[in-house]
């Protein structure tokens, strides 16, 4: 019996409500040894109150030492083993903008970048253009044709776009062309099998034509491609947990993750205040709520320690309104750590807290990496978080006689 079979066997109906608050990239590092992380530096009175009333610990998104992407990190939080469900980012981005990915499609996440005269990347995100600017550049890419393949290019947000190739015989086992650093040329796409080699050839031709179309652009004069993927088979959240789930996310990729597992995608507006307002409005319509907060991650990736501290404080300020709704289970965590010091995702375990009447409180008086290291939840794999949520919500029966 695997973990999903166990859940379906033990789950019980209840009227309880679960809120999963994900502060993307929440975990951090001190800039100097012995210093404080972004979370430890931030004023967080409401998260600290949650820590005192509930239980805290550290969750490992995949395995110790493995740095997760946002896809694996969130799938683990939703209770899907990221080692079993390897979902390419392209499909998630496509689903996030509600693009209908078909059986003959390979979906890809595209990033506009800035290339120097030598062809090397000088900015991996093309200066983070506005979404309006992204749409303008995408319209130019829509003129690109590749013989024998239907090509779809759709804007996402800022420097991101979705690219979909549609043809018979395409595969998704293609490497990312983003070298993950400035000062390097984009990588050549290569396929791991014959079908994927066909996709890689199409991708390389598209990239070459992109550079010709965008050669006169100041910033977005090139692109990199990531997360080549075909559509997977996956059990839905409702079928697995017997919950009616809603997603309140601003960024398309996280809408895609939620849509992949069958959550209802709600209008989240553009700000955290908008998201909380949506949560209040639909409170009586669902029993599981996934609310995603992006900016703790993007500031970490920018290496902006003070700004990440501010974004944590803004996140903390929203906690009282959410708690006022009296969720039976409130979980606060991240999908991975994004230390400003590293300017990237990292493998470090993620601070996690659970507030529920059935939570066994520990000695924690604050919510931080240091206190979570000694919290009552201990260190656990994030894929088990939904088991804890279901148990605290009174939705899991006894196992065995």
Separation of alpha carbons 61 and 69, rounded Å: 9
In a structure prediction context, what are the per-residue pLDDT tens digits for the chain, which is 401 residues long? 789 999 999 999 999 999 999 999 999 999 999 999 999 999 999 999 999 999 999 999 999 999 999 999 999 999 999 999 888 889 988 988 989 898 899 999 999 999 999 999 999 999 999 999 999 999 999 999 999 999 999 999 899 999 999 999 999 999 999 999 999 999 999 999 999 999 999 999 999 999 999 999 989 999 999 999 998 889 999 999 999 999 999 998 899 899 989 999 999 999 999 999 999 999 999 999 999 999 999 999 999 999 999 999 999 999 999 999 999 999 999 999 999 999 999 999 999 999 999 999 999 999 999 999 999 999 999 999 999 999 999 999 999 98
pLDDT at 252: 85
271 φ/ψ angles, rounded to the nearest 5 degrees: -125, 165
Query: Which are the contacts of 219, defined by CB distance < 8 A and separation ≥ 6?
Result: 112, 114, 123, 126, 127, 129
pTM over cut 0.75: yes
Question: Does the CA dihedral 145-151-156-161 come out positive or negative?
Answer: negative
Q: Sign of the CA dihedral 47, 376, 76, 237?
A: negative
Helices (H) then strands (E): counts for the chain: 15, 13
Nearest Cα to 9, choosing from 262, 242, 260? 242
Domains identified in the chain and CATH numbers = 10-87+235-392 (3.40.720.10), 92-229 (no CATH)
pLDDT at 233: 83
pLDDT for the residue 284: 97
Structural contact between residues 296 and 316, judged by C-beta atoms closer than 8 angstroms = no
pLDDT at 103: 87
């Amino acid at each position: 019996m695997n973990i999903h079979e166990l859940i379906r066997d033990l789950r019980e109906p209840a009227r309880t409500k679960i809120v999963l608050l994900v502060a993307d990239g929440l975990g951090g590092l001190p800039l100097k040894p012995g210093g404080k992380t972004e979370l430890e530096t931030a004023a967080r009175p409401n998260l600290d109150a949650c820590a005192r009333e509930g239980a805290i610990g550290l969750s490992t998104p995949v395995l110790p030492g493995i740095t997760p992407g946002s896809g694996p990190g969130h799938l683990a939080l939703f209770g899907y083993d990221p080692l079993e469900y390897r979902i390419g980012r392209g499909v998630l981005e496509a689903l996030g903008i509600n693009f209908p990915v078909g059986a003959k499609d390979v979906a890809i996440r595209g990033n506009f970048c800035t290339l120097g005269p030598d062809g090397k990347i000088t900015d991996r995100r093309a200066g983070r253009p506005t979404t309006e600017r992204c749409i303008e550049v995408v319209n130019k890419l829509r003129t690109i044709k590749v013989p024998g393949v239907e090509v779809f290019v759709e804007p996402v947000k800022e420097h991101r776009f979705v690219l979909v190739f549609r043809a018979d015989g395409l595969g998704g086992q293609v490497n990312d062309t983003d070298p993950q650093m400035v000062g390097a040329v984009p990588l050549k796409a290569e396929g791991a099998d014959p079908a994927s080699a066909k996709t890689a050839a199409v991708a390389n031709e598209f990239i070459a034509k992109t550079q010709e179309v965008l050669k006169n652009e100041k910033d977005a004069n090139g692109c990199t491609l990531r997360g080549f993927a075909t559509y997977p088979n996956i059990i839905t959240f409702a079928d697995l947990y017997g919950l009616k789930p809603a997603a309140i996310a601003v960024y398309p990729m996280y809408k895609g993750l939620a849509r992949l597992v069958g959550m209802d995608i709600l209008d989240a507006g553009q700000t955290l205040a908008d998201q909380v307002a949506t949560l209040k409005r639909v409170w009586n319509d669902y029993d599981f709520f996934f609310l995603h907060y992006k900016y703790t991650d993007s500031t970490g990736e920018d290496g902006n320690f003070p700004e990440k501290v501010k974004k944590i404080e803004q996140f903390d300020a929203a906690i009282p309104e959410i708690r006022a709704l009296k969720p039976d289970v409130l979980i606060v965590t991240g999908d991975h750590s994004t230390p400003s010091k590293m300017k990237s995702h990292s493998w470090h375990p993620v601070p996690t807290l659970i507030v529920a009447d059935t939570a066994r409180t520990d000695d924690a008086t604050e919510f931080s990496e240091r206190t979570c290291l000694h919290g009552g939840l201990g260190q656990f794999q994030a894929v088990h978080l939904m088991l804890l949520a279901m148990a605290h919500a009174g939705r899991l029966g006894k196992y065995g006689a």
